[in-house]
Structure 1
């Protein structure tokens, strides 16, 4: 399912009009009718009272269509126009005039100070609040009467339906513009917007639905839309005459005397996700400890520094060994030892296989970023927000305000596929495509969870997926495993071990229930 920016959505509206003759009036009518139909089916109209807060733009016009439909069907409706009604234009103004001619209860609010108690009573007695104040076009913080109304809606706690996006959420970033409506339902129109899916906007949307408002598929599936929800695809089958080498051989360069969990979780998660042979190059002093805990891992003890970190002297051996594997993973638990960081730089520069860089490996390459640009084979980087700041020299706050564009720019500059980890992780590609992953849960915010991901991604490559698909499906499987763990154990107290141990369950569920997964994690179309 494709996702649009606010500007792309405006272009789709314009194309719908110019190429297909879908005028503003028709699109607004379709938008209002789709929301009205949802209300009629989900809430019902009989003996219900509906309260609409409508702005003076097109989103407000959608709300006026909804009100007109409810009123025409005999429903009890009250509409507050927030702002100067003289600003209503085009189709929105037509629907306003129709409502007045029909005798509907429509009232303008320019200042709320003298109407607060009246508005409060209307909210208290309503069965459903319909929010069509701003839509996706908001670019500055909510102030004045709009802020007062939004806070009042949120404070009373009645059921709320937002049209397109909760008012106060930035449509391109998901950022709260000072204050925003907390909805129980949101019906987004045409295509989902970035702000519908990124946090914190996603958290304000309640249950999210989509109406294509009669757009032809050539619009909402257009190649010009480079963002999409990360959807599952079929995995290659495991043939009866397969052997362990059939499902990938991966070299993990990981671990130090202070960090034993990261190498263990990453290298074993590769096997738990269906991978074939997992080789772990780790300091000699900890190799037997990891081998005893993960006997399925082929441990390659390596020379180490005096403080138990991988030595630069390992470089030649590991570069030669990499020629016999399909992929290398560099970074989990390596530490920030200066010599080890030089080893990372050497390996990333010289290994002529796809390389995944995680954790301390990211910190190392960020100090010599040019080596990524020159690599011929695929490079995958899996930073969390803090590590992304090291790659970009942009602070966390600025990245959070513009994740998609920062990700797009960085993937191109670094010639790398990047997984920006977090709630609704993003997967960015060098051709500009970005996938938003919508599974996973807050219980996965635990030490070692990212190390499990570094094993899951190469496993998808080992199973036979194209490297680009392997990255996003690895992210998907990781989130699914976390969701299964949470369902079985609850979110509180989930550990990396729980996520890893549920990987076989996630793989089985994925293979057996592909269509069902699309229904669970994708937006329902109405």
Structure 2
């Protein structure tokens, strides 16, 4: 299947702008992450989910991070409960109101939080909620890959280092330095055909059955935060792709699972944002510049 055909599938999952829609119908996204030392990552992910077109974004962070994240934007709904001893129980009250989850941006690696994350994942799976795993959530999966095994609504977004760790954890072997399509496909297959979006000079997306390459031109700049834009926008695309009201994907007789379509859309968008920002700011490009380009990138790619 050509990239043009996949772009068409992505366009089909995007809900139309309509006066008949009510607030929240285009997506209520949950971002789980944000700690004392890492407040930018959950903000970048959350604001990207909003700017792509989600209606409401909830950020579940630690108490220390909450005021900082609130100060970044009044658009975000911030819950300072991540480091609470009763986080799992408190989160369950919010879960029925969320359409998808992004776990990991700024999460940190405290054992107590990882224990709670395991409970959250199990609860989300029981509700059939699409989940994106990024950053420290991938570190958690190194020691607990079984929690997402065969969950078809899981998308993992590792960079080069994160992929190498997870590949070694699951296969007990070292991956090749550049991580081939075959290795990404193998890891996805061994994890029960979850979707892996391996970030790099080109993005490799596989569910162990199909493998896509996103080589949309991007930027020469490698500033921090671009992965947060990707995972946040993916949180919105992931919900759109799995909405039960969508029939258009099936009408195209596509063999791709919906998570693959969502992942490809988020890759395209992130790369186009990076490209547009780099054309304006060059070496000075920052993720905030990329986020400002979401509207232009989106309207240029999807019709």
Superposition TM-score, scaled by structure 1 size: 0.50
Counterpart CA distance in 1 for 2:177 and 2:64 is: 40
* Partner-residue secondary structure (3-state), 1:302: coil
Which of 65, 75, 90 in structure 2 is aligned with 1:286? 65
Cross-structure match for 1:457: 234
Does the 8 A contact of 2:60 with 2:78 survive in 1? yes
- Relative to 1, partners in 2 of residues 1:303 and 1:392: Cα closer, same or farther, differing over 3 Å? closer
Which of 167, 170, 174 in structure 2 is aligned with 1:392? 167
Does the 8 A contact of 1:322 with 1:328 survive in 2? no
* Partner-residue secondary structure (3-state), 2:78: strand
Cross-structure match for 2:261: 469
- Relative to 1, partners in 2 of residues 1:341 and 1:246: Cα closer, same or farther, differing over 3 Å? same
Counterpart CA distance in 1 for 2:202 and 2:235 is: 20
- Count of residues in Structure 1 that have an aligned counterpart in Structure 2: 278
Does the 8 A contact of 1:460 with 1:470 survive in 2? yes
Counterpart CA distance in 1 for 2:98 and 2:41 is: 20
Does the 8 A contact of 2:48 with 2:291 survive in 1? yes
Cross-structure match for 1:437: 214
Cross-structure match for 2:293: 502
Superposition TM-score, scaled by structure 2 size: 0.84
Task: State whether structure 2 residue 33 is matched by structure 1 residue 254.
Answer: yes
Counterpart CA distance in 1 for 2:155 and 2:221 is: 21
Q: Deviations over 1:375-419 (max 9, x none)?
A: 4x5111100111112211179983335511111111111131110
Counterpart CA distance in 2 for 1:331 and 1:254 is: 5
Counterpart CA distance in 2 for 1:510 and 1:391 is: 32
Task: State whether structure 2 residue 260 is matched by structure 1 residue 485.
Answer: no
Does the 8 A contact of 1:423 with 1:442 survive in 2? no
Unaligned runs of 5+ in 2: 243-257
Superposition pairs of residues 194-213 of structure 1, within 5 angstroms: none
C-alpha RMSD of the superposition: 2.3
Cross-structure match for 2:113: 340
Does the 8 A contact of 2:131 with 2:235 survive in 1? no
Which of 276, 283, 303 in structure 1 is aligned with 2:55? 276
In the TM superposition, residue 510 of structure 1 has moved relative to its aligned partner by 1.9
* Partner-residue secondary structure (3-state), 1:351: helix
- Relative to 1, partners in 2 of residues 1:443 and 1:421: Cα closer, same or farther, differing over 3 Å? same
Q: Deviations over 1:269-315 (max 9, x none)?
A: 101111111010111222122112111111112152xxxxxx45311
Does the 8 A contact of 1:342 with 1:364 survive in 2? no
Cross-structure match for 1:354: 130
Specify the structure having the higher radius of gyration (Cα): 1
Cross-structure match for 2:250: none
Does the 8 A contact of 2:130 with 2:154 survive in 1? yes
Q: Deviations over 1:307-330 (max 9, x none)?
A: xxxx45311221332222111111
Does the 8 A contact of 1:385 with 1:396 survive in 2? no
Does the 8 A contact of 1:461 with 1:467 survive in 2? yes
* Partner-residue secondary structure (3-state), 2:7: coil
User: Which structure exhibits the higher relative contact order, with contacts defined as CA atoms closer than 8 Å and separated by 6 or more residues?
Assistant: 2
Counterpart CA distance in 2 for 1:371 and 1:230 is: 33
Counterpart CA distance in 2 for 1:261 and 1:283 is: 13
